[in-house]
Amino acid sequence: QVQLVESGGGLVQPGGSLRLSCAASGIIFRVNAMEWYRQAPGKERELVAAITSGGKTDYPDSVKGRFTASRDDVKNTVYLQMNSLKPEDTAVYLCKTWIFTPSRTRYDYWGQGTQVTVSS
């Protein structure tokens, strides 16, 4: 059973930092790419970071230079370091991964999310 559990959210002032964690189980973590998304009230879910199994990362312009994804394949955990936070970064942050069955059917898995609130 695949399980993703996020942690590390909270309330932070503008300009502050937070580090989110996503602990994975039930998968061969080291071969899985991982993604971080966020969803704010009334807005569509937005990809904010992607990290391949080899550690290559990619970000949208909205967070590039402020957010950094990393992974620890020993701890089966992916991280999202968020710096210079802005009120518009306020959202529920979720991690995602996926697996393919032998018949090449893809199954996506999501964590439950962790709330990040940026406010003075």
What per-residue confidence (pLDDT) applies to 111? 97
| Three-state DSSP state, 72 | strand
What per-residue confidence (pLDDT) applies to 53? 95
Q: CB–CB of 4/20 below 8 Å?
A: no
pLDDT in tens, 24-75: 998 888 889 999 999 999 999 999 999 999 999 999 999 999 999 999 999 9
Q: CB–CB of 21/7 below 8 Å?
A: yes
- Neighbour count for residue 50 (Cβ, 10 Å): 17
pLDDT in tens, 81-117: 999 999 999 999 999 999 998 999 999 999 999 999 9
What per-residue confidence (pLDDT) applies to 37? 98
Nearest to 95 by CA among 44, 48, 43, 53: 48
What per-residue confidence (pLDDT) applies to 27? 86
